[in-house]
Amino acid sequence: MSEKTETVDAVVIGGGAAGLNGALMLARSRRSVVVIDSGTPRNAPAEGVHGLLGLEGMAPGELLRRGREEVRGYGAEVVTGEVTSALPDPSAVSDSAADSDPRFTVTLSDGTTLRARRLLVATGLRDVLPDVPGLAQHWGRGVVHCPYCHGWEVRDEPIGVLAVGPASVHHALLFRQLTDDLVYFTNSTELDEETRARFAARDIRVVDTPVAAVESAADGTIAGVRLTDGEIVHRSVLAVATTLWARTEGLAGLDLPMEDLPGGMGRHFVTEVAGGTQVRGVWVAGNATDPMAQVGASAAAGALAGARINADLVMADTDAALAATRPGGVVAAATV
């Protein structure tokens, strides 16, 4: 077990676009930063990042490699590891300073212990697919979830929307923009007559027979959807709205507020302005709080959170410097 005795300005939990961009802003402000990267990015199966101006189509791994290199170039440390606990550490500061300049202890799976003044949680989320045989093996290629992330790449293909609930109706209309050949598999979900009429007006075929499995072709691509009556509906792409669960491993001790997404579609962290939370000294950015954010939006949120963390530290540093000039070393904390 190793313990870093130095208290760093910020520990960033998560090495994706949000975490790295937050770390970049902090490091460029001459803050000491450690990024903890589990090495399991959500978009790893994707061939490219899309909708990101100037970096359109770049492989996700290459984008993160460049990001780590840039962050390290400003003196930040990026380490591979998994957080097993993150806890407030009120014993590290005097009672009078605890509210204005908190401390945290972060422990990794290898026993390493880090101490920090601020935390940026950028753990991202986990996509959970419906339990349909043959579906998961095509995730990120023939099975897609976002028309803005993958839509252009599957345009004009025979697309099937595998319904999971009310959110799938909007999903279908978005994917209809991309192809004239769209089949909506209700998959035992309810579909009212008004929606059926709207689908018919857009030439969206509705299949009510339950789905039994996704069939694969000899080359490993999707061949079609097999129904419970044995019929196979040819499709080369399936769109499915995944259940979105913020990654919370090791973070229970922070007691960060969370809430459910509408329609039972997952759970995320609740944040305030610029990713701030109700827990003093902790910010959250990226998909862990905004499940719909693409890479560009996540990176922007990380940058904003990083800037706010630096501003918060500036005020705490100023409070401490002022307190040192006064009898008793006490000064009212300022806010940003």
In the chain, where the domains are located: 3-126+243-329, 130-239
Global pTM reads: 0.91
Q: Which residue has the higher pLDDT, 246 or 41?
A: 246
What pLDDT shows up at residue 330?
Answer: 59
Instruction: Give every CB contact of residue 111 below 8 A, 6+ residues apart in sequence.
Output: 1, 2
Average pLDDT over residues 101-112: 96
Q: Which residue has the tokens 């507020």?
A: 257
**C-alpha distances in angstroms, 86 versus 36, 96, 251, 281, 334?**
12, 22, 6, 12, 26
Distance separating alpha carbons of residues 111 and 105, to the nearest angstrom: 12
- Give 130-239's CATH code, choosing from 3.50.50.60, 1.10.3720.10, 3.40.50.1220, 3.60.21.10: 3.50.50.60
φ, ψ of residue 275 to 5 degrees: the values are 85, 5
Angle value at C-alpha 65, between 59 and 71, nearest 5 degrees? 135
Read off the pLDDT band of 47 (50, 70, 90). confident
Angle value at C-alpha 8, between 124 and 5, nearest 5 degrees? 120
Average pLDDT over residues 193-203: 98
Domain 3-126+243-329 superfamily per CATH: FAD/NAD(P)-binding domain (3.50.50.60)
Q: Are 142 and 33 in contact (CB under 8 A)?
A: no
Which secondary structure element, helix H or strand E, spans residue 321, and what is its range? helix 295-323
Tokens of 273: 């302005």
Domains 3-126+243-329 and 130-239 in one fold: yes
pLDDT tens digit sequence for 214-225: 999 999 999 999
**3-state SS class at 243:** strand
Write down the mean pLDDT value for the chain.
Answer: 92
